[in-house]
Amino acid sequence: VNKELGTIDYVHDVNGKKNSVRKHCVLRIHPETEKGRLILQIGTSDAVRALKATQTAIKDIDAVDLNMCCPKYFSVHSGMGVALTRKPEIASDIIKTLRRNLNIPVSCKIRMLDEESGKQIEQMMNDRAKGKKKKKKRKRQNTDNGTYLSPSKLPAALRDTREFIRNMEAAGACAVAVHMRTASERRKQRAHLETDSLKFLSESVKIPFIVNGDVFTRDDLKRVREILP
């Protein structure tokens, strides 16, 4: 309890120089303003660890969301983030474990699935298994420009995405959010917010379907709401 700020702080010790130890705050909650509306999103590749992590904060959160969306190397090579979309059995097990042991809603967020992105994800995971490390760059630069999904491959990507979100619904997810880009796409590539694409996915499940990606203005929001009332 942080009496000075009126917050609940989750901290852990971090080793510093000369055997010094400092407190690092990983989560700060303001009960008065966040009570009843705080969702904890976690990155994990293991059901038991996911449960333990959530139970640690269970008194201060109202729901938990499983991150199956992050396409970055640090997440994917450890089997987290978008890597879970290549391991639906593990993703399902995590959701089932959380639902079975918790009394709060469990949701998940994914990206659109496509075979080309999937191969890149599996390559990262294989590199990890073989003990390969990503080479460090001397200068920080953004070379991650992304690769746009070919329009001809969109129908297959939507079908694969539909199958996955149905699996998550069957596992017990209370809601599913879809970032309407593939793992290979970045902000430079526009999100796939076509009317047919959104309806195809939203009508595939009975649980709440949440859209993410390129909704920046009130007009953007209005258009999406008209598609998904």
Sign of CA dihedral 25, 81, 111, 88: negative
Closest by Cα among 41, 69, 40 to 161: 69
* 131: Cα separation from own chain's centroid: 25
Query: Do strands 8-15 and 21-29 pair parallel, antiparallel, or not at all (unpaired)?
Result: antiparallel
Q: Which two tokens stand for residue 168?
A: 């998550």
H helix or E strand, kind and range, residue 112: strand 106-112
Q: Which two tokens stand for residue 136?
A: 């460090």
Q: Crossing angle for the helix pair 195-202 and 154-171, nearest 10 degrees?
A: 30
> What's the CA gap between 91 and 45, in Å, rounded?
8
Amino acid at 194: E
**Active centre residues (catalytic):** 70
First to last CA, the chain: 41
